Amino acid sequence: MMKKTWPLLVVLASPVVYADDPFADPFADPFADEPIAIEDNIHQSRIELKSYYQNNNLRSNHPLNTGQFEFNDEFRFVGLDASLESQWSDQWKTRARVYSRYMVSSAQTNNKEEIDTYLLEGLLQWQSLDQNLVIELGRNTPKWSNGYNYDIANMLQPNRSLPNIDQDNPLQAKGWDMLSAQYYSGHWSMAGYLVKSDSDNPNIDSEAVLRLGYQNDHEFSFLIHKLDQGKLAYGATFSTLLGDETTIRAEWTRHPFRQTNLLDGGERTHYQRLVLGTTYAAIDGWSLTGEFFYNQHGANDNQWQQITELAATSADLLKTGQTQNVDQDRYLAGAGLGLMAQGWSRQRYGSLMFMSGQSEDLWQLRLGSQISLDDSSRLHRVEVLKSINDNLSTRLEVQLFEGCELCEFGLNPNQSNVRFTASWLF
Amino acid sequence: MKLSIKPFGLAMLLSFGAPVVAMVEQTPEPALDTQADAALEVTTDKTPEAVLEVITDEAPDVALDANQLLSYIDSLRGYQDQSFSFELSNISYKKNKQKHRNKLVVKVLNDASLVEFVAPARSKGRKILKQAQNMWIRFPRTRNVLRVSPAQRLLGETSNGDVTGTNFSEDYTATLEASPEKSETIPNKSETPSNKSEVISEKPLLKLLLTAKHDKTTYQKVVFFLDSENHQPVRSDFYARSGKLAKQAYYTEFKEFGGELKLHKMRLVNPIIEGSYTWMMFDNYKKQTLEPAIFHKDALSR
């Protein structure tokens, strides 16, 4: 037990500071004895020490596992995420974010330890005196999406938040090395990005994005994305208010190629994605968010059936020793697993998320479900959040993957998992 | 103090403090500073039911213009036709709960406001941009910028933002009502934590009734009680559309910043929830040339 939970001790052993007297005299000026001036400082930092323990309830007989894989049933993790932003003058600024982690992943017969350090962001920024023009050089993470579960308008490759946004994984916020320029004029903004690509495709060295944005009661943006040697891809976003309680948003992309590996791209000249979403926020604090996602990059029923059945058959042949062609069967079984790991593998998705208001004791509840509408498989997520004090926060997260054996979420190696996270913000 | 102040578009001033507070901590509410203003005194009263006395010795000056008074109230929260910044500290209390604090820096240009959280640590770096009814929030960890609805600033019990963030001149029609009669007593339901009561003022008070011009305001009616000599607000009552008293603000201290008088401290009380109030301190008002570019949603993450 001690071995499993030791990473949490780093955080839990930290001094807990509770707020003072909750029965204060309502008439006494609480500001009388304390300095409240906010210091001007050219350096702003944000340092977070985080630790989690995750236990996976694995599927006992995964149809695509040939026996050569061991899925992890535990993770223990400690990470330090440090950002420093320095405003050297009215025009010059630097920003850096470094992330170090120590993670132990455990399978039945094998433990794997990893210690890594990443530069998530590191850039030099210059801005004109009127701040209308901003030029940045270095590693940056521009975000253009206004979606929640399906951030399709973040068009740089690869999209790091696939397949599911993991809020404890800062690597999903790792930037790209780029030179960018942004110009603001009234309600409009224009931006250009020249990016060194880290796409898996060896033929792609660089990417470029042009973006035009408009902000008012209705907000929209239009994106043009060019991969080195490739054709143009397009994206657009829109959001607006519907009354005081409801926001509506939409995102669309159109690519000249299929973004899903292993699926034949021959049947179409372009592939589109569309996300429609809305959030209702109640006056007493809770909110409800719904999203629909249409994804032409994903597999249709025939393609999905073909791939998964081939993969399952190959895996079965390997497991039973009846294979005629080991390499081919391994490839097919691995391809099935790979498709699943890629995320957004099917064409139609829906999601619903409930978020409670934060209680006076700083508790909060989040409930979320995603459904792959093509096969009705589902991912359910329950999160209970508690801020112990200004610095220490905890979260208990349970995920449940449901669906038939060869359905998208049913193919996840985990039937369920539970993660307890504690983080200390300095 | 002259009353020749025109309405300025600053109302946003606080549209921040509060909304922000609400989103992050869902803080409670508000109000009263004993040392701050001579007009406001706190005494101990044996009576179990708290009472707030409004004492008027003379009739209001009928020559006073209600709209001018309203503009003056707005002027206490910012600078006319001039971009500026200020700092806001909030401490929220609920009965039997630990108190919550936060600190914000607010920048204001016309109808746009940019709020940045400085404390507590869990909220540090969060930014909220408000432009008219439109709001966007930026989370420092993910750099995501998301549109949020005005209702989201009301999370939890706190609707400080709506109380303090309204540009009264733009949203309300003002009427100077006949002054309350001498020694009129107004039940002060908010003072429940103890048997204290407060004498709101030894001086005569003016009663300014604000009625919403449109249905986009959170409150249908606001009643201001103003010091009849210097016209500074002493208390305001906010009534929901249902007619129910929703919030009370006690303006406890004003302070000069750059030669102009501004609201410095106030306490917001939620009369519906016993023992629920928030102290707010506005400080370090600065006239500043703020470029429109920083009030752009796309600039939030830079």
The pLDDT of residue B75 is above 60: yes
**Band of pLDDT at residue A24, cut at 50, 70 and 90:** low
Query: Look-up: residue for tokens 């929830």?
Result: B273
CA–CA distance, B211 with A276 (Å, rounded to integer): 39
Q: What is the Cβ-side half-sphere exposure of residue A198, based on CA atoms within 13 angstroms?
A: 8
**Band of pLDDT at residue B58, cut at 50, 70 and 90:** very low
The pLDDT of residue B292 is above 60: yes
**Which of A43-47, A126-130, B108-112 has the least mean pLDDT?**
B108-112
CA–CA distance, A219 with B131 (Å, rounded to integer): 12
The pLDDT of residue B195 is above 50: no
pLDDT of residue A19: 39
Mean pLDDT of B9-23: 30
Mean pLDDT of A77-92: 95
pLDDT of residue A166: 84
Contacts of A152 (CB under 8 A, 6+ apart): A145, A159, A235, A251, A252, A253, A273, A275, A293
Residue B4's Cβ-count burial label (10 Å; 0-12, 13-18, 19+) is exposed
**Band of pLDDT at residue A374, cut at 50, 70 and 90:** very high
CA–CA distance, A311 with B71 (Å, rounded to integer): 73
* Of B103 and A209, the one with more pLDDT: A209
| Cβ-defined contact of A283 to B151 (cutoff 8 Å) | yes
**Band of pLDDT at residue B48, cut at 50, 70 and 90:** very low
Residue of B35, B194, B198 lying closest to A32 (CB–CB): B35
Contacts of A93 (CB under 8 A, 6+ apart): A85, A86, A87, A124, A125, A126, A127
* Of B181 and A412, the one with more pLDDT: A412
**Band of pLDDT at residue B95, cut at 50, 70 and 90:** confident
Residue of A29, A143, A249 lying closest to B35 (CB–CB): A29
- As a whole number of Å, the CA-based R_g of chain A is 24
Share of chain B above pLDDT 90, in %: 15
Tokens matching residue A255? 């690519």
Q: What are phi and psi of B66, to 5 degrees?
A: -60, -40
pLDDT of residue A263: 67
Which tens digits make up the pLDDT trace of A134-160? 999 999 999 999 888 899 999 998 877
CA–CA distance, B82 with A150 (Å, rounded to integer): 41
Contacts of B136 (CB under 8 A, 6+ apart): B128, B129, B145, B146, B147, B148, B297, B300
The pLDDT of residue B212 is above 60: yes
Strand A271-281, strand A246-255: pairing: antiparallel
Which residues in B lie closer than 8 A to residue A249 (C-beta atoms)?
147
| Cβ-defined contact of B149 to A245 (cutoff 8 Å) | yes
pLDDT of residue A15: 39
Residue of A141, A281, A358 lying closest to B151 (CB–CB): A281
| Cβ-defined contact of B302 to A357 (cutoff 8 Å) | no
pLDDT of residue A331: 83
Nearest to A12 by CA among A55, A51, A53: A51
| Cβ-defined contact of A393 to B122 (cutoff 8 Å) | yes
Mean pLDDT of B142-167: 60
Residue of A26, A213, A393 lying closest to B298 (CB–CB): A213
pLDDT of residue A265: 58
pLDDT of residue B179: 55
B 166-205 near A (Cβ less than 8 A): 191, 193-194, 196, 198
A65-80 burial code (b ≥16 CB/10 A, e <16): bbeeeebbbebbbbbb
Q: What is the Cβ-side half-sphere exposure of residue B102, based on CA atoms within 13 angstroms?
A: 29
The pLDDT of residue B138 is above 70: yes
CA–CA distance, A103 with A117 (Å, rounded to integer): 12
Q: What are phi and psi of B236, to 5 degrees?
A: -140, 145
Cα dist from B260 to A300, B32, B76, B287, whole Å: 68, 22, 8, 11
Amino acid symbol at B92:
S
**Interface test mutation site (partner B, options A16, A20, A23, A27, max chain B beta carbons within 10 A):** A27
Position B3 in a domain: no
Which residues in A lie closer than 8 A to residue B142 (C-beta atoms)?
143, 167, 173
Cα dist from A386 to A48, A236, B33, B153, B157, whole Å: 16, 37, 32, 20, 18
Nearest to A272 by CA among A236, A243, A245, A312: A236
Question: B159: distance to nearest CA of chain A, Å?
Answer: 9
pLDDT of residue B264: 92
Give the CATH number for residue B228. 2.50.20.10
| Cβ-defined contact of A136 to B275 (cutoff 8 Å) | no
CA–CA distance, B191 with A231 (Å, rounded to integer): 68
| Cβ-defined contact of A38 to B284 (cutoff 8 Å) | yes
CA–CA distance, A7 with A419 (Å, rounded to integer): 13
Mean pLDDT of B168-189: 64
The pLDDT of residue B232 is above 60: yes
Nearest to A48 by CA among A391, A397, A420: A391
* Of B85 and B1, the one with more pLDDT: B85
Which residues in B lie closer than 8 A to residue A134 (C-beta atoms)?
299, 302
3-state secondary structure chain B: CCCCCCCCCCCCHHHHHHHHHHHHHCCCCCCCCCCCCCCCEEEECCCCCCEEEECCCCCCCCCCCHHHHHHHHHHCCCCCCCCEEEEEEEEEECCCCCCEEEEEEEEEECCEEEEEEEECHHHCCCEEEEECCEEEEECCCCCCEEEECHHHHHCCCCCHHHHHCCCHHHHEEEEEECCCCCCEEEECCCCCCCCEEEEEECCCEEEEEEEECCCCCCCCEEEEEEECCCCCEEEEEEECCCCCEEEEEEEEEEEEECCEEEEEEEEEECCCCCCCEEEEEEEEEEECCCCHHHHCHHHCCC
pLDDT of residue B155: 35
Nearest to B238 by CA among B150, B164, B156: B164
Which tens digits make up the pLDDT trace of A299-310? 889 888 888 888
Q: Which domain holds residue B248?
A: 13-299
* Of B157 and B236, the one with more pLDDT: B236
User: What domain count does chain B have?
Assistant: 1
Position B4 in a domain: no
pLDDT of residue A371: 95
Tell me the average pLDDT of chain A: 86
Which tens digits make up the pLDDT trace of A93-104? 999 999 999 999
Mean pLDDT of B179-200: 42
**Band of pLDDT at residue B274, cut at 50, 70 and 90:** confident
The pLDDT of residue B57 is above 60: no
CA–CA distance, B257 with B283 (Å, rounded to integer): 8
Share of chain A above pLDDT 70, in %: 90
Which residues in B lie closer than 8 A to residue A362 (C-beta atoms)?
25, 100
3-state secondary structure chain A: CHHHHHHHHHHHCCCCCCCCCCCCCCCCCCCCCCCCCCCCCCEEEEEEEEEEEEEEEECCCCCCCCCCCCCCCEEEEEEEEEEEEEECCCCEEEEEEEEEEEEEEECCCCEEEEEEEEEEEEEEEEECCCCCEEEEEEEECCCCCCCCCCCCCCCCCCCCCCCCCCCCCHHHHCCEEEEEEEEEECCEEEEEEEEECCCCCCCCCEEEEEEEEECCCEEEEEEEEEECCCCEEEEEEEEEEECCCEEEEEEEEEECCCCCCCCCCCCCCCEEEEEEEEEEECCCCCEEEEEEEEECCCCCHHHHHHHHHHHHHHHHHHHHCCCCCHHHHHHHHHHHHHHHHHCCCCCEEEEEEEECCCCCCCEEEEEEEEEECCCCEEEEEEEEEEECCCCEEEEEEEEEEECCCCCCHHHCCEEEEEEEEEEEEC
The pLDDT of residue B111 is above 50: yes
Position B28 in a domain: yes
**Band of pLDDT at residue A170, cut at 50, 70 and 90:** confident
**Which of A1-10, A145-154, A340-349, A383-392 has the least mean pLDDT?**
A1-10
Mean pLDDT of B82-105: 84
pLDDT of residue A324: 82
| Cβ-defined contact of B157 to A24 (cutoff 8 Å) | no
Which tens digits make up the pLDDT trace of A42-52? 898 999 999 99
- Peptide bond before residue A30 is cis, with ω within 30 degrees of 0: no
Question: A343: distance to nearest CA of chain B, Å?
Answer: 20
CA–CA distance, A346 with A63 (Å, rounded to integer): 19
Contacts of A311 (CB under 8 A, 6+ apart): A64, A332, A333, A335, A336, A337
CA closest to B28 among chain A residues: A360
Mean pLDDT of A345-360: 91
- As a whole number of Å, the CA-based R_g of chain B is 19
The pLDDT of residue B136 is above 60: yes
pLDDT of residue B46: 29
CA closest to A285 among chain B residues: B155
* Of B259 and B166, the one with more pLDDT: B259
Asked if B33 is an interface residue toward chain A (Cβ–Cβ < 8 A), one would say: yes
CA–CA distance, B99 with B92 (Å, rounded to integer): 5
The pLDDT of residue A397 is above 90: yes
Which residues in B lie closer than 8 A to residue A170 (C-beta atoms)?
141
Mean pLDDT of B110-135: 86
| Cβ-defined contact of B143 to A141 (cutoff 8 Å) | yes
Q: What is the Cβ-side half-sphere exposure of residue A233, based on CA atoms within 13 angstroms?
A: 28
Residue of B35, B105, B147 lying closest to A239 (CB–CB): B147
B 217-236 near A (Cβ less than 8 A): none
Mean pLDDT of A215-243: 92
Amino acid symbol at A97:
R
| Cβ-defined contact of B298 to A215 (cutoff 8 Å) | yes
Position B7 in a domain: no
Position B230 in a domain: yes
Residue of A28, A246, A425 lying closest to B122 (CB–CB): A425
Tokens matching residue A152? 């399709």
CA–CA distance, B174 with B155 (Å, rounded to integer): 29
> Are A399 and A414 spatial neighbours (Cβ–Cβ below 8 Å)?
yes
Tokens matching residue A18? 């509770």
pLDDT of residue A336: 79
The pLDDT of residue A399 is above 70: yes
Position B258 in a domain: yes
